[in-house]
A and B are shown apart, each in its own frame.
Chain A
C-alpha cells in the first residue's frame, strides 16, 4: 500500500465525518424524515453513476444500457431473496417460482452483479465493435429488449411476468446502502487507479495510439463494459431494495438518462463529481423542490402563482440548464475532491466556502 499522504488523510477524514453524520441521521432523525428515502436513492444512484462513469468517462465508451443491466440485477436479487414460504403468494399466477431457496443478502447482491455482467459479456461481443453514437443506440436497444423480455408470460415462473415482485429482503437501514455503495465504489476507484485504469484512460484519449502502445483494445473495452455492468447490476439490486418491489415498467430509458445527467452534472471522468451530483440531483428532485408541486404552498402569507403538479420539474430543468451553462465540464470536471488542497486555498486566499457536501463516501 502507498504511504498515506496529507491529501489522502484529509479525504479519509472527510469520509469519516460524513460517516458519522450518516450514523447520527440513522440514529436520531425521526422515522418520517425525508433523509431516509432520499439517502437510499442517493446511494443507489451514486453507484449507478460511478459505474456509468467508469465506462463513459474513463473508457470513453458511450453506452446507454444502464437501465437494462439494473433491471437484470434487480430481478436477480429480488427472485433470489424471497423467503421460501412466501414464494407461492408472489408467483401465484404462475403456479410457483422455479427457485425454491432464499439466498442471504450479500450473495444475492453478488449474483445480481454476475448476471448483469454475464449478459454484458454476451452483448459486448458484437456491440463493442461499434463506436460512439452507434454503441449508445445498440446498448439502448438492449435495455429495451431486456425490459420487454422479462414481461413475457413464458418467463413467468422466473420473472413473474408483467406482475411486480415483492416480499423480498429489503433492508431499511441507510447504513446498509452506504456500505454496499461504499465498497463497490472503492473497488471501482481502485480499478481506475490501477494500470488497467490508466489503459482505459489511454483508450478514451486516443484509440490508435493506445493500440500502438500494445493495449489490447477489444480486451480492455470488454473488461470495462463487464465491470461497469456488474456494478450496475448491484445498483439495480439496491434500487429493488429501495422500492421494495420490482417491476419492469420502472426500468425505462429515462432512468438511464437520469444517471447520464448525474454523470454529466458531476463531471465526466470524476468519481467524486458523480457522488456530489447524485446527492444534489436526488435531494433536489425528491425533496427540496417538492414544495413546488403543492398548489397550497404559501411563502410569507402570499400564494405563489404557477405552483402545481409538475412545476417542480420545470424549475429543476432550469436549474440543470444553469449548472450546465456555468460548469461546462460538470461540477468537478475531471478533478477529484481534494480537501487538503481546498483548505490550503482557504488558508492562503481566504476564499469563500464552497459547497462540499455529499463528498467521497
Chain B
C-alpha cells in the first residue's frame, strides 16, 4: 500500500507543473451487480485531464462493466461517477455523450450495413453543427477510411473496422474517449498502429480511458494504470512502474518475455 501512496505523490507533483489540478473523472466506490453476481465491487478511480489511464485485468475482472457504467449503458447499484465536477451517475447514455464522454465499444461494433461515412456521421449524431472538419480530422488520422468512405463498414477488415470505431467515437468531439479492448482480435502489427493512433489522439488533447487485456501494450502507453481482479482494484501505479513490477509480470505479461 505504501508503494501506491508513493506513486501517487510523485504523480501529483508532476501534474501541478503543467496540467490543471481538477479531476476529469472520479469514480467513488462503484458497485455493479448482475443478478446476484458482483461484477464490480467497490472500485474507485481518479483521472486527470489529458492523460491516458488504463484498466488492465483478466477476463471477468469487471473492466468492461466499469466502462459501460460510465457510458450509462449499465446502471450501477452503488457509487458515484463524477465527470468534470458533475455527478453523472444514472444519466442516460445520450446525455453522457453530450457531456463529452464517448465510448468505442468492445469488438468494434461498427454498423455493418452503413457506409464508412455514414458510420462517422452517426458518431456525431447529437451534434447539430457542421461535421466537415471533424471528418477531415478522422481521415487525416486514418487515411485508409478516406479511401473506403463509400464502402459498407461490414466489408472492411478487422483493423479498418477498429479504425472506424475509433474515428466514429471521435466524431462527438469527446473530452474523454473510452476504449474497450481495441487490440481484440487484431494482428500484432495492426495493434501497434492502433496504439500509435491512441497516443496521437491523446496528444491532440483527448483524455483516454483504456481497457485492455493486452497489458504489455496498455502499460507502455498509459500514464497511470489500475489492475482489476474480480471486481476489485488490487494495484495501481504509473504504467512503466507496473510494467516492471514482478507480480504484474507474472500474472499478465508472461514472466520471461517482458521488455
A residues with CB within 8 A of B:
195, 198-199, 201-202, 204-206, 208-216, 269, 334
Beyond the given A198-B125, A208-B109, could you list 17 further A-B residue pairs with CB under 8 A, ordered by the A residue number? A198-B118, A202-B125, A205-B111, A205-B113, A205-B114, A209-B105, A211-B73, A212-B93, A213-B97, A213-B125, A214-B93, A214-B98, A214-B172, A215-B125, A216-B92, A269-B113, A334-B113
Q: Which residue of B lies closest to A58 (CB)?
A: B113
Enumerate B97-117 residues with CB–CB distance to A below 8 Å. 97-98, 102-103, 105, 109-114
Does B4 reach chain A (CB closer than 8 Å)? no
Contact A201 B94 (CB under 8 A): no
Q: Which of A201, A206, A211 contacts B93 (CB 8 A)?
A: A211
Query: Given the complex of chains A and B, what is the CA–CA distance between A241 and B38 in angstroms?
Result: 60
Given contacts A195-B121, A215-B125, contact A201 B172 (CB under 8 A): no
Query: Given the complex of chains A and B, what is the CA–CA distance between A199 and B119 in angstroms?
Result: 10
Contact A209 B111 (CB under 8 A): yes
Contact A206 B118 (CB under 8 A): no
Given contacts A195-B121, A213-B122, A213-B172, contact A201 B113 (CB under 8 A): yes
Count of chain B residues with a beta carbon within 8 Å of a chain A beta carbon: 25
Contact A198 B94 (CB under 8 A): no
Query: Given the complex of chains A and B, what is the CA–CA distance between A219 and B13 in angstroms?
Result: 47
Does B235 reach chain A (CB closer than 8 Å)? no
Contact A216 B122 (CB under 8 A): no
Q: Which residue of B lies closest to A269 (CB)?
A: B113
Contact B93 A202 (CB under 8 A): no
Query: Given the complex of chains A and B, what is the CA–CA distance between A198 and B114 in angstroms?
Result: 8
Contact A212 B105 (CB under 8 A): yes
Q: Which of A198, A202, A214, A269 contacts B126 (CB 8 A)?
A: A214
Majority SS at the chain A contact face: helix
Q: Which of B92, B112, B113, B168 contacts A213 (CB 8 A)?
A: B168
| Interchain nearest-CB distance for B83 vs A (Å) | 15
| Interchain nearest-CB distance for B125 vs A (Å) | 6
Residues of chain A contacted by B121 (CB below 8 angstroms): 195, 198
Residues of chain B contacted by A199 (CB below 8 angstroms): 122, 125
Contact A195 B113 (CB under 8 A): no
Query: Given the complex of chains A and B, what is the CA–CA distance between A56 and B254 in angstroms?
Result: 49
Q: Which residue of B lies closest to A217 (CB)?
A: B93
Does B71 reach chain A (CB closer than 8 Å)? yes
**A–B pairs, 18, beta carbons within 8 Å:** A195-B125, A198-B121, A199-B125, A201-B113, A201-B118, A202-B111, A202-B122, A205-B114, A206-B111, A208-B73, A208-B105, A212-B93, A212-B103, A212-B105, A213-B168, A214-B96, A215-B122, A269-B113
Query: Given the complex of chains A and B, what is the CA–CA distance between A215 and B94 in angstroms?
Result: 6
Contact A204 B113 (CB under 8 A): yes
Query: Given the complex of chains A and B, what is the CA–CA distance between A210 and B118 in angstroms?
Result: 13
Query: Given the complex of chains A and B, what is the CA–CA distance between A307 and B241 in angstroms?
Result: 85
Does B123 reach chain A (CB closer than 8 Å)? yes
Query: Given the complex of chains A and B, what is the CA–CA distance between A202 and B102 in angstroms?
Result: 16
Query: Given the complex of chains A and B, what is the CA–CA distance between A161 and B168 in angstroms?
Result: 55
| Interchain nearest-CB distance for A215 vs B (Å) | 6
Q: Which residue of A lies closest to B94 (CB)?
A: A214
| Interchain nearest-CB distance for B224 vs A (Å) | 24
Residues of chain A contacted by B103 (CB below 8 angstroms): 212
Query: Given the complex of chains A and B, what is the CA–CA distance between A122 and B120 in angstroms?
Result: 34
Residues of chain A contacted by B126 (CB below 8 angstroms): 214
Q: Which residue of B lies closest to A203 (CB)?
A: B111
Residues of chain B contacted by A213 (CB below 8 angstroms): 97, 122-123, 125, 168, 172
Provide the B84-99 mask, 1 if CB < 8 A to any CB of A, else 0: 0000000011101110
Q: Which residue of A lies closest to B171 (CB)?
A: A213
| Interchain nearest-CB distance for A57 vs B (Å) | 10
Query: Given the complex of chains A and B, what is the CA–CA distance between A216 and B94 in angstroms?
Result: 6
Residues of chain A contacted by B114 (CB below 8 angstroms): 198, 201-202, 205
Q: Which residue of B lies closest to A60 (CB)?
A: B113
List 8 tightest A-B contacts by C-beta distance, closest first.
A214-B97, A209-B109, A205-B111, A214-B94, A214-B126, A212-B103, A216-B94, A202-B122
Q: Which of A204, A205, A214 contacts B125 (CB 8 A)?
A: A214
Query: Given the complex of chains A and B, what is the CA–CA distance between A208 and B106 in angstroms?
Result: 10
Query: Given the complex of chains A and B, what is the CA–CA distance between A204 and B111 in angstroms?
Result: 9
Q: Which residue of A lies closest to B112 (CB)?
A: A205
Q: Which residue of A lies closest to B172 (CB)?
A: A214
